[in-house]
Amino acid sequence: MDANRLNAKHRWRRFAQGAPLSVLAMIYNQILSFAVGILVARVIGASQYGVVSVARNILDILGVVSPLGLDLALQRHLGSGSGQDSTRLAQLKVFRSIAFLLGIAPAALAALGLSAYVEQSIYRYPDFAKVLLTMLIALPFLTDLAVLGGAYRGMLKPDPSILTSYVVQPTFRAIVMITLFAFGWRLWAVVVGTSVSFIISWWVLALRARTDLAPRGTIHQLDWTDTWSVFLYSPSLAVSLIFSTCIGAADSLFLGHFGTAGDVGQYGAILMFTQLIGLLGLGLGQTLGARIALCHRNNDIAGMETLLAENIRWTSLFSAPVFAAIVFWGDRIDLVLGPTFAVNASVVSIVAARNLVQTILMNSGFALSMTGRHLRETGILGIGLIALVIMCFALIPSYGQFGAALASFIAVSGIHLVRYAVVWSVFGIKHVKLAAIKPIAWAVAVAGATHLLLRPLDDRTVLSTLFEAVIFVMSFAVSAWFVLVTDQDREMIARLFMPRPLIAGVDE
């Protein structure tokens, strides 16, 4: 085997490290969450589903604020240094303790009356204060999960964090919810199940981390200058992540204020379905941030471009068929969830397009946040969030769900366009290639052809919809294997999912 071929194999293996487990765990999470989401929607209806969606969005935003950006900072801190640095691992106790204490504060404020104020002034839904307080009880545990996840990714050992977040947590959430449903609970089954699942998953990962992330070897006295340096740049990373999370939740939160709980419930159901777009693609980026940091430290700009471009291309390939299926058949969610979830096809298409853009390009932010340009990343996201808020105020009162979807799509697309220009200007790289666009165009073309050919058989039932979707997926998979997938891609897929025994001197 020549040197070029050997280097290519190592490059592909480095790019995809952790991907098989990530993909399988995320598939499990998405399928289970999707199935449970359908059950929840049918049991509690659109209005109560909207109440849960708003409370969960608030929890998600606070869950990004409370870690202070340490989840991202640890990826950079540990990823740019020695993975066996015992002194750096010893700093985890300091980081985790501070973040956990901050996670307690919002729950305490909610108990002291903040949640009641939110119910009276912003979201006037019955029992919303109690729902929000119960959700926020899980916040400190969610915070520590995020910090531990950042540490695992910084060590390039994301598997325990992945299994906890995408297997343990959704499994226990489903068990608790279904059990409480059996006892006649409805809304509170969802609320309690969500909080309990975060606490259990935190306990599992924290117990595992005592072994995996325990310092080994000589532990020097903590370098407080080094520790403080993490706190110096983690807030800007936190702000970036907060902005990003708010960008993802602003449409639902503003819709909840200007519209009804039913509007938010329908919109939340659309978001649930469109999240399937990232079912496979998101599993490819679990260690990308740490690897970008390492490339930057080694001044390997070409390697950074390759990592970003390949991540985007593969994410596009996996996400495109789900996007196309949702565009052509996604407005039929009422067939599954019930008549209260009848939605507009235009809203579904716009939300799907927003999620596709976000899924494919979201990891390109590492080119700035992991290379010391985090303030620029923060600025881009901040301007995007301001633009989104303005558009939400302008569009949602008059156009409802359509206005929320359009505002979000424009803001997200604008953010990624500006970021691409900044990365190109700073590093001289073009990480979005034509190869990333082809799968989207091909998937839409195949889905459109399938929809037209099978229209005479379409009676808008669950069975006919499934039949059309299956024919489309099979057609896309077969055609993409010959049109979009290269020989090197096929070899990578084989090495990922059909591993062969290592050959000394070649694979080592």
Cβ atoms of 77 and 233 within 8 Å: the answer is no
pLDDT band of residue 507 (cuts 50, 70, 90) is very low
pLDDT band of residue 157 (cuts 50, 70, 90) is confident
H, E, C per residue of 448-462: HHHHHHCHHHCCCCH
Cβ atoms of 230 and 77 within 8 Å: the answer is yes
- Radius of gyration over every alpha carbon of the chain, rounded to an integer in angstroms: 23
Per-residue pLDDT, 428 = 85
Per-residue pLDDT, 497 = 54
Q: In this predicted model, what pLDDT tens digit does every residue of 461-478 receive, in sequence order?
A: 989 999 999 999 999 989
Helices 92-109 and 70-79, interaxial angle, to 10°? 170
The arithmetic mean of pLDDT across residues 399-414, rounded, is 95
Per-residue pLDDT, 286 = 62
- Taking the C-alpha atoms of residue 324 and residue 184, their distance in angstroms, rounded to an integer, is 38
- Taking the C-alpha atoms of residue 240 and residue 235, their distance in angstroms, rounded to an integer, is 9
Among 192-206, 317-331, 426-440, which is the least confidently predicted range?
A: 426-440
Q: What string of DSSP letters covers 161-191?
A: HHHIIIIIHHHHHHHHHHHHHHTT--HHHHH
pLDDT band of residue 364 (cuts 50, 70, 90) is confident
The arithmetic mean of pLDDT across residues 374-401, rounded, is 91
**Range picked from 76-90, 278-292, 439-453 for highest mean pLDDT:** 439-453
The arithmetic mean of pLDDT across residues 381-385, rounded, is 92
List Cβ neighbours of 439 (8 Å cut-off, separation of 6 or more): 316, 317, 319, 320, 321, 480, 484
The arithmetic mean of pLDDT across residues 148-165, rounded, is 82
Among 129-143, 172-186, 234-248, 275-289, which is the least confidently predicted range?
A: 275-289
The residues spanned by each domain of the chain are 3-215+225-497
Helices 139-154 and 288-297, interaxial angle, to 10°? 50
- Taking the C-alpha atoms of residue 209 and residue 95, their distance in angstroms, rounded to an integer, is 14
Cβ atoms of 438 and 479 within 8 Å: the answer is no
**236: closest CA among 78, 69, 422?**
69
- Greater confidence (27 vs 264) lies with 264
Which strand (E) or helix (H) includes residue 281? none
In percent, the amount of the chain with pLDDT more than 90 equals 35
The count of other CB atoms within 10 Å of the CB of residue 378 is 23
Cβ atoms of 272 and 337 within 8 Å: the answer is no
Dihedral Cα 97, 103, 109, 114, nearest 10 deg: 170
Among 111-120, 212-221, 426-435, which is the least confidently predicted range?
A: 212-221
Q: What string of DSSP letters covers 211-227?
A: HHTS--S--PPP-HHHH
Per-residue pLDDT, 152 = 83
In percent, the amount of the chain with pLDDT more than 70 equals 83
Burial class (CB in 10 A: 0-12, 13-18, 19+), 211: exposed
Checking if the pLDDT of 431 tops 70, the result is: yes
The count of other CB atoms within 10 Å of the CB of residue 113 is 10
Count how many Cα atoms sit within 13 Å of the Cα of residue 139 in the half-sphere of its side chain. 30
pLDDT band of residue 356 (cuts 50, 70, 90) is very high
**266: closest CA among 416, 405, 431?**
405
Per-residue pLDDT, 472 = 93
Q: In this predicted model, what pLDDT tens digit does every residue of 4-28 receive, in sequence order?
A: 444 444 444 444 444 566 667 777 8
**216: closest CA among 82, 112, 95, 40?**
82
pLDDT band of residue 102 (cuts 50, 70, 90) is confident
> DSSP code of 259?
S
- Give the chain's length: 508
pLDDT band of residue 116 (cuts 50, 70, 90) is very high
State the chain's mean pLDDT as an integer. 83
The arithmetic mean of pLDDT across residues 415-425, rounded, is 90
pLDDT band of residue 126 (cuts 50, 70, 90) is confident
The arithmetic mean of pLDDT across residues 351-378, rounded, is 85
Q: What string of DSSP letters covers 405-464?
A: HHHHHHHHHHHHHHHHHHHHHHH------GGGTHHHHHHHHHHHHHHHHTGGG--SSHHH
- Taking the C-alpha atoms of residue 370 and residue 288, their distance in angstroms, rounded to an integer, is 10
Per-residue pLDDT, 222 = 58
- At 102, give phi and psi (nearest 5°): -65, -30
Tokens 């190109």, residue located: 424
Cβ atoms of 234 and 72 within 8 Å: the answer is yes
Cβ atoms of 63 and 142 within 8 Å: the answer is yes
Among 200-214, 468-482, 486-500, which is the least confidently predicted range?
A: 486-500
Burial class (CB in 10 A: 0-12, 13-18, 19+), 271: buried
Which strand (E) or helix (H) includes residue 57? helix 19-65
